[in-house]
């Protein structure tokens, strides 16, 4: 099986296409491949498949390093777009992808700077898997650790919990995230973003991804944080997001409009492995 290693701002991927090659892979094998000491090492495995409808150019799936399939990956979408072009699987500058939850549109601004239409953020709690005790909340702000900590919930095809902090450097990201996980508020897990607002056009962000831990970058997490800030009218409609691995530009005109993410994608190396 041929594969490519790629990354978006340090969020790294094993990218496989099943268009010209056939294979079956298990969650056990994904776990083994993701191991950074004995395998290839990656945050997510991205699988590109033929389109499931004539409306789309390709279908793509995302698997976390623990083998579980998830709904969305913003950094991964940019890498998939670059992969398709580098492999001459398409010559289009605008690529329409379907995922298990939503379709996304990739637009090449330059050779490796890519804009992704992430669709409109969804703030309805009915679309986020939460425990029964939160069902009565009408908007996205909820108390998650007694009354001492609240967060805002939003979905970009995958669920996000955004917590505003004074300093991302000093935020106890791992400790708070593990408390949230143990309280089982979100039965299927949730991505947790810690947002520091420097000004209305610039934020810093750290993200603890479900089943992964903290990563260098999370594209959908950046989109979620900015969406929350704009919905609360504390951020402008164009925001730079500084993550551990680099900077993304997020644009959103507000409710009724799609949200756009702009950032880089990088090819690292090509390989093949016997499965």
Task: Categorize the per-residue pLDDT at 150 as very low, low, confident or very high, splitting at 50, 70 and 90.
Answer: confident
How high is the pLDDT of residue 126? 61
Task: Categorize the per-residue pLDDT at 151 as very low, low, confident or very high, splitting at 50, 70 and 90.
Answer: confident
Query: Are 100 and 161 in a shared domain?
Result: no
Average pLDDT along the chain: 90
Distances (CA, A) of 83 to 16, 64, 79, 94, 171: 9, 19, 6, 14, 35
Query: Are 189 and 207 in a shared domain?
Result: yes
Query: How many domains would you assign to the chain?
Result: 2
Query: Are 78 and 162 in a shared domain?
Result: no
User: Looking at residues 84-92, what average pLDDT do you find?
Assistant: 95
User: Looking at residues 196-224, what average pLDDT do you find?
Assistant: 95
Counting other chains too, the contacts that 174-179 makes at CB distance below 8 Å and 24 or more residues apart are: 174/208, 174/213, 174/214, 176/145, 176/149, 177/208, 177/214, 179/145
Query: Are 133 and 169 in a shared domain?
Result: yes
Query: Are 40 and 154 in a shared domain?
Result: no
Domain of residue 248: give its range: 125-256
Q: How far apart are CA 253 and CA 121, in angstroms?
A: 11
CATH number at residue 215: 3.10.310.10
Q: Residue 137 above 50 pLDDT? A: no
Query: Are 141 and 105 in a shared domain?
Result: no
Q: What percent of the chain has pLDDT over 70?
A: 91
How high is the pLDDT of residue 111? 87
In terms of pLDDT, which residue wins out, 138 or 159? Answer: 159
Among the listed residues 151, 161, 218, 223, the single catalytic one is: 218
Query: Are 60 and 181 in a shared domain?
Result: no
Q: Is 223 a catalytic residue?
A: no
Query: Are 90 and 179 in a shared domain?
Result: no
Angle at 257 (CA atoms; ends 251, 259), nearest 5 degrees: 35
Q: Is 218 a catalytic residue?
A: yes
Token pair, residue 134, equals: 């939160």
Strands 246-252 and 238-243 turn out to be antiparallel
Query: Are 239 and 137 in a shared domain?
Result: yes
Do the beta carbons of residue 231 and residue 153 sit within 8 Å? no
Residues 6+ apart with CB under 8 A from 159: 128, 129, 153, 186, 188, 189, 190, 191
Q: Is 132 left (phi over 0), alpha (psi -120 to 50) or beta?
A: alpha
Do the beta carbons of residue 13 and residue 42 sit within 8 Å? yes
What tens digit of pLDDT does each residue of 180-203 get? 888 777 888 899 999 999 999 999
Query: Are 129 and 235 in a shared domain?
Result: yes
User: Looking at residues 129-157, what average pLDDT do you find?
Assistant: 65
Query: Are 133 and 102 in a shared domain?
Result: no
Query: Are 162 and 88 in a shared domain?
Result: no
Among the listed residues 73, 151, 161, 223, the single catalytic one is: 73
How high is the pLDDT of residue 138? 43
Task: Categorize the per-residue pLDDT at 101 as very low, low, confident or very high, splitting at 50, 70 and 90.
Answer: confident
User: Looking at residues 137-152, what average pLDDT do you find?
Assistant: 62
Query: Which residues are bridge partners to 31 per DSSP?
Result: none
How high is the pLDDT of residue 136? 47
């Amino acid at each position: 099986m041929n594969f490519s290693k790629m990354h978006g701002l340090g969020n790294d991927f094993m990218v496989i296409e099943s268009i010209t090659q056939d294979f079956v892979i298990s969650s056990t094998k994904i776990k083994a491949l993701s191991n950074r000491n004995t395998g290839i090492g990656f945050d997510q495995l991205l699988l590109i498949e033929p389109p499931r409808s004539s409306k789309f150019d390709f279908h793509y799936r995302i698997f976390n390093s623990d083998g579980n399939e998830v709904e969305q990956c913003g950094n991964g979408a940019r890498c998939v777009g670059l992969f398709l072009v580098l492999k001459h699987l398409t010559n289009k500058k605008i690529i329409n992808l379907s995922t298990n939850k939503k379709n996304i549109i990739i637009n090449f601004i330059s050779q490796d700077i890519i804009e992704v239409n992430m669709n409109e953020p969804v703030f309805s709690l009915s679309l986020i898997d939460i425990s029964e005790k939160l069902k009565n909340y009408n908007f996205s702000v909820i108390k998650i650790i007694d009354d001492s900590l609240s967060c805002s919930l939003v979905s970009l095809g995958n669920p996000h919990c955004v917590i505003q902090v004074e300093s991302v450097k000093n935020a106890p990201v791992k400790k708070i995230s593990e408390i949230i996980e143990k309280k089982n508020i979100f039965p299927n897990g949730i991505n947790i973003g810690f947002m520091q607002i420097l000004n209305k056009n610039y934020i810093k962000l750290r993200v603890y991804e479900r089943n992964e831990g903290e990563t260098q970058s999370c594209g959908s997490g950046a989109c979620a944080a900015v969406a929350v800030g704009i919905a609360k009218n504390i951020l402008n409609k164009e925001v730079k997001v500084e993550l551990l691995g680099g900077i993304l530009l997020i644009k959103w005109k507000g409710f009724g409009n799609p949200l756009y993410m702009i950032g880089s994608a990088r090819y690292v190396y090509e390989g093949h492995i016997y499965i």
